[in-house]
Amino acid sequence: MERENQVSAKPESGAEWVGRIQEFVRQNREEIILNIGRLVAVPSTEGTPEEGAPFGPGPRKALDEALKMAREMGLSVGHQDYKMGWAELPGERAEYLATITHLDVVPAGEGWDGDPFVMRRREGWLLGRGVADDKGPSVLCLYALKFLKEAGVPLRYGVRALLGCNEESGMADVPAYLAANPAPVFCFSPDTAFPLCNGEKGHCGLEMAGGPFPKGRILDWEGGVATNAVPDRASALVKADLKALPQREGVTLEQEGEYVRVRGWGKSGHAAMPEGTVNAIWLVGSYLLEQGLCTPEEKAYLEALEKLHRATDGSGLGIAACDGRFDPLTVIGGTMKKMPDGRFVQTLDIRYPTNTGGKKLEEAIQKAVGAAAQVKLKEDAEPFYIEVDAAPIRTLIDTYNQVTGSNEKPFTMGGGTYARNFPLAVSFGPEYPDLQLPAFGGPMHGANEAAQEEGLLQALEIYILALIRLQQLEF
Ligand SMILES: [Zn+2]
């Protein structure tokens, strides 16, 4: 990624702007918060596509509101078929830099202390769906452009604040944008956490199928709702007599005619961070296996599944991998289902480092389980990684460390963000490492989603200064 003529911005560069940036943030503070509230007030979960609203009316309305806001700031705006919008400032060159945030949100869910779509302010925090993910950051990016324009910062590269409308449910907005527009020479996405994420693991989805078992004892087995999460409940219906079966922790049993319903009660969690989770599918499966509630054919399939569920590092399947850049490989079995044709299908979600790949994993798993299960690769996205000493990465991390007075280093992760879809992009903020949420506030995607006002305003300072410094790089 490093280009020979590319040197990172000097640490003192942009210093002449710092005072004005701070003054700008102070003066615009209340207006910024009001504008975040304006976007929170538009419920923008994905809905049924309509004419001019490819992801449903909610995201479209949020885009209209954000573009209106940008025009109020004197910025030019545009959109790609209402899938992705933007505000922009022209530069001397045709190439441009970009930020990318998103205006769609996950559903409100349960457990809120107030209306999720009416932003509340409490003890220095903003509360409401999207304040942190990603409407707050979207407003910050618009204000970053407002500063560049009002202060008359000389721009070699144009700057676009891209506003996606489909980040939470498929990211169909970026391919549509990139198919019709040149890619930015560099892009950062304020959609995860500071300091900076410069790499994401590869991600593949597989299936491990067994059966059909025409004379089997397991009539049904079901667990999980999403392939990318460890399920906390699962159940199987198996030919058995309740009286002959022992109790076990995490498992409940009920007689249903000549069958016993075996339920597992585990601990759910995201596929990218499976540590501490307990997979309910395997609470059920291991019970069936231990109690011999299976035919010899079913037993072989259960033993294949045991290799998957034995460890989330893939050691049971012989696929454990570590490359020194990323955390080690993780694997979880998200859903189990019985298909109409009688086969049982277990899905696998694997997050992998750079020294392996989807095809290789499919082959290795098939080899590990032999004829007891059929393994099939369903989807695969390769890892992406940008060297930590690449000039734009150094420029961003130096800016973050200077403004916050810290000494952080970039990190990598297992989750997927917008960044991997661009030729050269990273995620950069807005959550701070070790920030403690107050008792009344919740995380991104949770109830009472919270963002700290001071943190957001400091992030704006960081983003403005970073955009000024990036102007000095050769792309
Ligand atoms: Zn987000």
207 found inside a domain: yes
Q: How far apart are CA 40 and CA 351, in angstroms?
A: 32
pLDDT at 184: 98
Residue 465 is assigned to a structural domain of this protein? yes
Confidence of residue 2 (pLDDT cuts 50, 70, 90): very low
Report, as an integer, the average pLDDT of 371-396: 94
Q: Give the residue-averaged pLDDT of 211-228.
A: 93
Measure 366 CA to ligand 1 centroid, in angstroms. 35
Question: Which structural domain, as residue segments, surrounds residue 245?
Answer: 202-381
Residue count of the chain, please give it. Answer: 475
Q: For residue 45, what are the CA distances in angstroms to 161, 190, 210, 318?
A: 21, 19, 37, 40
Q: What percent of the chain has pLDDT over 90?
A: 88
d(CA 104, ligand 1 centre) in Å: 8
DSSP letters for 141-185: HHHHHHHHHHHT---SSEEEEEEES-TTTT--HHHHHHHHSPPPS
CA of 361 to the centre of ligand 1 (A): 29
The most distant pair of C-alpha atoms in the chain lies apart, rounded to whole Å, by: 81
Question: Is residue 162 in some structural domain?
Answer: yes
Structure confidence at residue 149 (pLDDT): 98
What pLDDT score does 6 carry? 59
Residue 367 and residue 397 in one domain = no
Cα(343) to centroid of ligand 1, in Å?
A: 36
Q: Is the pLDDT of residue 4 over 50?
A: no
* Contact predicate 231/334, CB 8 Å: yes
The Cα 266–Cα 181 span in angstroms is 46
Tell whether 61 and 160 lie within a shared domain.
yes
Q: Residue 5 has what DSSP assignment?
A: T
pLDDT (mean) for 325-347: 96
The letter for the amino acid at 372 is A
Same-domain check for residues 191 and 208: no
Ligand 1 centroid to Cα of residue 114, in Å, is 22
CA 118/CA 62 separation, integer angstroms: 14
Task: Evaluate if residue 10 carries a pLDDT over 80.
Answer: no
Cα(318) to centroid(ligand 1), Å: 34
Let me know whether 301 and 344 are in one domain: yes
Where is average pLDDT lowest: 125-134, 265-274, 297-306, 458-467?
265-274
Which of 381, 402, 434 is a domain's end point? 381
Q: Looking at residue 449, what DSSP letter applies?
A: B
In a domain, 184, yes or no: yes
pLDDT class of 109 with cuts at 50, 70, 90? confident
CA of 12 to the centre of ligand 1 (A): 32
**What is the predicted pLDDT for the residue at 7?**
67
| Separation in Å, CA 362 to CA 200, 313, 337, 353 | 20, 15, 20, 15
What is the model's pLDDT at position 247? 96
Domain assignment of residue 394, yes or no:
yes
Helix (H, G, I), strand (E, B) or coil at 353: coil
On whether both 184 and 71 belong to a single domain, the answer is yes
Statement to judge: residues 238 and 362 lie in one domain: yes
Q: What is the CATH number of the domain that holds 433?
A: 3.40.630.10
Read off the pLDDT of each residue in 14-41 and give the average, rounded to a whole number: 96
For the chain, the straight-line distance linking the first and the last C-alpha, in angstroms and rounded, comes to 11
Q: Based on the domain organization, do 294 and 443 belong to the same domain?
A: no
> Do 192 and 260 share a structural domain?
no
Average pLDDT (361-388) is: 95
Q: What are phi and psi of 466, to 5 degrees?
A: -65, -40
Q: 337 C-alpha vs ligand 1 centroid, how far in Å?
A: 30
170 Cα–ligand 1 center, Å: 12
Per-residue model confidence (pLDDT) at position 1: 41
Where does residue 45 rank: exposed (0-12), middle (13-18), buried (19+ CB within 10 A)?
middle
pLDDT of 345 over the 80 cut? yes
Q: Which residue has the higher pLDDT, 16 or 5?
A: 16
Q: What is the mean pLDDT of residues 323-338?
A: 95
Residue 475 lies in a domain: no
The pLDDT of residue 186: 98
Residue 307, in any domain of the structure: yes
Select the more confidently predicted residue: 104 or 108. Answer: 104
Same domain? 23 vs 167: yes
The residue type of 317 is: L
pLDDT of residue 52: 96
Q: What is the pLDDT of residues 44-71, one digit of tens each?
A: 999 999 999 999 999 999 999 999 999 9
Same domain, 390 and 296: no
Distance, CA 96 to ligand 1 centroid (Å)?
23
Query: What average pLDDT does the structure give for the chain?
Result: 94
Give the Å distance between the CA of 23 and the centre of ligand 1: 29
Q: Which of 381, 407, 441 is the last residue of a domain?
A: 381
166 CA distance to ligand 1 centroid (A)?
10
What is the whole-number distance in angstroms between the Cα of residue 444 and the centre of ligand 1? 8
Domain count, the chain: 2
Q: Per-residue pLDDT tens for 220-251?
A: 999 998 898 899 999 999 999 999 999 999 99
pLDDT digits (tens, 9 = 90+) for 415-446: 778 998 999 999 999 999 988 999 999 988 88
Determine how β-strand 330-332 pairs with β-strand 229-230. Answer: unpaired
Which residues, other chains included, contact 199 with Cβ-Cβ below 8 Å and sequence gap of 6+? Answer: 325, 326, 383, 384, 385, 386, 412, 413
Give the residue from 381, 409, 441 where a domain finishes.
381
Pairwise CA distance, residues 118 & 39, whole Å: 10
For residue 193, the Cα-to-chain-centroid distance in whole angstroms is 11
Q: Are 304 and 369 in contact (CB under 8 A)?
A: yes
297, part of any domain: yes
Tokens matching residue 87? 């505000």
pLDDT at 411 over 50: yes
Same domain, 261 and 388: no
Do 174 and 47 lie in one domain? The reply is yes
The domain that contains 299 carries what CATH number? 3.30.70.360
> How far does residue 136's CA lie from ligand 1's centre (Å)?
10
Mean pLDDT of 312-318: 97
**Per-residue confidence (pLDDT) for residue 5, from 0 to 100:** 46
pLDDT of residue 270: 84
Q: Give the whole-angstrom CA distance, residue 203 versus residue 213.
A: 31
- Distance CA(77)–CA(63), nearest Å, equals 11
